[in-house]
Structure formats: C-alpha cells, structure tokens
A and B are shown apart, each in its own frame.
Chain A
Amino acid sequence: AAGVIQSPRHLIKEKRETATLKCYPIPRHDTVYWYQQGPGQDPQFLISFYEKMQSDKGSIPDRFSAQQFSDYHSELNMSSLELGDSALYFCASSPGPNTEAFFGQGTRLTVV
C-alpha cells in the first residue's frame, strides 16, 4: 500500500541557509501534519493543513512556513537555519476526522 513519502531523506545545510522539505500524503488523504523531533526528544507538532488550508498551529518558529498545494502535497520551508534546527522532521497524513494519521519515514536535517 502507498505510504507517506518525504523527501529528501537526509539534508545537510549550513547556518543561515534555507531548506525545503517535501511531503506527499497517501492518495485521497486531505490532512497533513508536520512534526519536529530533536535528538532524544519526543515528536513536537509544528503545523497542519486540511483541504489546503492551515488548520492547527503548534510550536512552529516564525522562521518556518508551510503550505499545502492543490495536489495535497505539502512543503515546509525553513529559513535562517540554526544549529538547534537539526532534527528529524516527520510528515503525517490522514483521510478524515477521527481517523488514524500515518507517518512518513522522516527527513533528517543536520545544520552545521
């Protein structure tokens, strides 16, 4: 079965650079969630979209922005990268309310 696809799987950036992470949800899933997981930490919710509109906002820094496109894929844009942004970034999608969310394998971002 198709799963949530994230790209790239690994990314190395320097401080103050920008990065774009992409998420392709499972077909016919209309909701996308983004999470950040620092080393030794639990996943932290960043932001979510439902039907291409932002639906919930968590602890997303102002330097980050995200959107969901007409084909339902989503991109997380990160600017002025800091060392502390080094983390695993997960995307998840779900097909509707009160249903389980399925996670991708994540993008490991390393800021040097």
Chain B
Amino acid sequence: DAKTTQPPSMDCAEGRAANLPCNHSTISGNEYVYWYRQIHSQGPQYIIHGLKNNETNEMASLIITEDRKSSTLILPHATLRDTAVYYCIVRVAGNTPLVFGKGTRLSVIA
C-alpha cells in the first residue's frame, strides 16, 4: 500500500527552484521521510532524509510540515541534469527497506 502521494509529473524552468510536494498523511512517529531520484535507468540516487526537522545538504532542502503529514523537496537552482523521477519514501527507523511508490517525473526545461 502506498504510504506517499506525489504528483505524477512536474516541469521546472532551468535555473529556477523546483519544489516537489509529497503527502504522507499516515506517517508514524518512528518513520523517516527519504527522497531519492532516478535518472533514466541508473541506480536510484539518495538526496536527503529527515524525521521532523527541516534538513539541507549540498543537493537540496527538505521541508517537513509541523504535523509531519507532508513535505517538500526543494532543488534551489534546477539544471537540465536534474531531470529525473523523484521518489518520496516513508521508512520505518532501522534497517528496513526503502519501498518505492510512483514518484514524480521532473522535467527541467531550458
């Protein structure tokens, strides 16, 4: 059963911020939010993860709402190489597997 809901596709102009939403209204207290992306048949690439605080790294920022029922992945300055399928995954704490849903196909347009 899908634990997350994402729009199937989004477009973003090159150089602009890409904001990818994710709904995870049934998230539990011990579940983290992970974001991965997959560029055309390559292995999925880790982007960022968080529990309840907002997180930022060199790739992106993760904004989690206070009630933890939704989050937004922000790519601050999208480039053509950011075109990929982005997966938002809710994962129980521990060594549990990542369960991929449908993801959002982001197209960055020049």
Binding site for B on A (CB under 8 A): 4, 31, 33, 35, 42-45, 48, 50, 55-56, 58, 88, 90, 92, 94, 96-98, 100-106
Contacts beyond the supplied A35-B100, A42-B101, A106-B41: 14 A-B pairs with Cβ under 8 Å: A31-B95, A42-B103, A50-B95, A55-B95, A90-B44, A92-B43, A96-B95, A97-B94, A97-B95, A98-B93, A100-B46, A103-B44, A105-B42, A105-B43
What is the CB-to-nearest-CB distance from B61 to chain A, in angstroms, rounded to a whole number? 16
Bound form: Cα–Cα A101–B102 in Å? 19
The contact size tier of chain B is 20 to 34
Provide the residues of chain B in CB contact with A45, threshold 8 Å.
97-100
Q: Given the complex of chains A and B, what is the CA–CA distance between A106 and B101 in angstroms? A: 19
Q: Which residues of A contact B95 (CB under 8 A)?
A: 31, 48, 50, 55-56, 94, 96-97
Asked if B45 lies at the interface with its beta carbon under 8 angstroms from chain A, I say yes
Query: Nearest Cβ distance between residue A65 and chain B, in whole angstroms?
Result: 17
Nearest A-chain residue to B91, judged by Cβ:
A98
Chain B residues whose C-beta falls within 8 Å of the C-beta of A94 in the assembled complex = 95
